[in-house]
Amino acid sequence: MAAMLQAPLRALRAPFRVAAVSHCKDLLSIAWQDGKQSNFPNIWLRSAARDPEVFDAGSLLYKRNDYVEFICKESPLVRAEHEKGSEDILVEWGDHLGTFNASWLRAQDHNINKDLCKKRDFTVWDANFKFPVYNYSERMENFDSWFGDLRKYGLAIFQGVPPNEAGILGLLHSIGQEAQRYHPTNILHIVKDSKEESSYESYTYAPKVHPMHVDTPYYASMHRLTALVGNRYSAPTQDTYSLFVDNLKVIGDIRREEPEAYDLLRTIPVRLGRRRLRTVLDHCHADEHYKYHLDNVVYKTMIAYDEREKLDCINMTNKHAGVDFSVFKDHTTMKKHYDAYRLLQKKLDEEANQQRLILKEGTAVLMNNGRISHGRQDIHATTERYVLSAFLSERMWDTRWRILNGQKSGLEEKWLYGCSPEQLEILADRKGE
């Protein structure tokens, strides 16, 4: 089975092919066919063993007592061999004979792998860009393409989606489980509600313009994806467009045109608050209000660095809760910061940056939060518009990428277990063209 999973050695790229192996009692050295060399200390090698005596490949768990005894016992390296045509490196200690996958060892050596870490393929776009549109019925066979679009463009567009909860869940479940929300339903029903016109909340759930924003930045770890699915749509007088903006485009423009504003937006944190939607309280009895209530605050800069996606992102939200006094600067600096905030909002509102899409029945958009800001035009009095919304968590996003990269690597699961996202990306690219 292992031989079937592993790539033929001749198909591996030079950085993953072994040229020579040497050792002393405290060190394993590997020369690679790309000219690089790795040096692995013996004490680290013992802690990394994945042999059945200390590691259960079925559960992907170390046998704790055996493992702890093994790593605590000092035992010098007595032999290290690599058989031509094999991916395995044989390592022998005085008390144990083990094997390591050579590609896995190469991926662990961060000292020599900078050139193996591929730069993310991002495409910056504006109002004139043409996106591919996918059919819901082909979502699994085209999965790699549209899932890659969520990283490349920040969004993926679908047609033919069942206009109901089964449709939005079918879309999200092709990636993973939908995010669990902090109130009784994981799927939000967004309906035009003229009763809300007298309150500021009408900006969100009633006919007035819904301002540009990203979803859920008011959580310490925002939900990675937002799904919007058109459930019902009728516009006899005037269409209602949803608006989408590439945050990378806006950030790049501000950094180039107003570098001081860019720096202020990156360095002065603001408070982002969250309170429960009043409309959802209809699901609860009055005495259960606080059982389901969520009210929190986090501190984030308007422009931040997304460590996972390795790019700048935006934390623009309707839940802005002001600037904390503890980070207040002098009058001049704060005035410049407020002007920078207004500039960011202005850039998001520029039509030249906005893609427009009508969320008709069966049309869906998946958005990568932080990368995409979205909003909506006003809704005409004669328009009927019903949209479903749900989220996918950061953890589920990471898990799906781990699975995809692990499958591309062709390695046994015991070697994929515990790898960082960067190591998995390196291993996914170990095979030649």
pLDDT in tens, 119-134: 888 999 999 999 999 9
Is the per-residue pLDDT at 433 higher than 90? no
The CATH classification number of 18-116 equals 3.30.2020.30
Alpha-carbon distance of 433 to 431, in angstroms, equals 7
**In the block, which residue shows the tokens 């010098």?**
76
Q: Once rounded to an integer, what is the mean pLDDT over residues 406-426?
A: 96
Alpha-carbon distance of 265 to 352, in angstroms, equals 22
Q: To the nearest whole percent, how much of the chain has pLDDT over 90?
A: 73
Beta bridge mates, 312: 305
CATH T-level topology, domain 133-399: Double-stranded beta-helix (3.60.130)
Question: Residue 1's pLDDT band (boundaries 50, 70, 90)?
Answer: very low
Name which of 251-260, 288-297, 348-357, 371-380 the model is least confident about: 288-297
Contacts (Cβ under 8 Å, ≥6 apart) of 280: 183, 184, 185, 292
Is the per-residue pLDDT at 275 higher than 90? no
Please state the pTM of the whole predicted model.
0.87
Is the per-residue pLDDT at 3 higher than 50? no
Alpha-carbon distance of 357 to 241, in angstroms, equals 5
Q: Report the Cα 425 to chain-centroid distance in Å.
A: 14
Contacts (Cβ under 8 Å, ≥6 apart) of 60: 413, 414, 417
Q: Once rounded to an integer, what is the mean pLDDT over residues 370-375?
A: 94
Question: Residue 24's pLDDT band (boundaries 50, 70, 90)?
Answer: very high
Question: Residue 202's pLDDT band (boundaries 50, 70, 90)?
Answer: very low
Q: Once rounded to an integer, what is the mean pLDDT over residues 26-33?
A: 97
Long-range contacts, stretch 34-37, CB < 8 angstroms, 24+ apart:
36/112, 37/112
pLDDT of 293 reads: 58
Is the per-residue pLDDT at 2 higher than 50? no
pLDDT of 197 reads: 45
* Number of C-beta neighbours around residue 220 at 10 A: 9
Instruction: Give the domain ranges of the chain.
Output: 18-116, 133-399
Q: Would you give the DSSP letter of residue 259?
A: H
Q: Would you give the DSSP letter of residue 340?
A: H
Average pLDDT, the chain: 89
Cβ 357 vs Cβ 244: under 8 Å: yes
Question: Residue 277's pLDDT band (boundaries 50, 70, 90)?
Answer: low
Alpha-carbon distance of 241 to 238, in angstroms, equals 10
Using alpha carbons, list the distances in angstroms from residue 141 to 160, 174, 178, 316, 324. 15, 11, 21, 35, 49
Question: Residue 294's pLDDT band (boundaries 50, 70, 90)?
Answer: low
pLDDT of 150 reads: 97
Q: Report the Cα 357 to chain-centroid distance in Å.
A: 24
Using alpha carbons, list the distances in angstroms from residue 149 to 307, 318, 359, 367, 409. 19, 27, 19, 10, 21
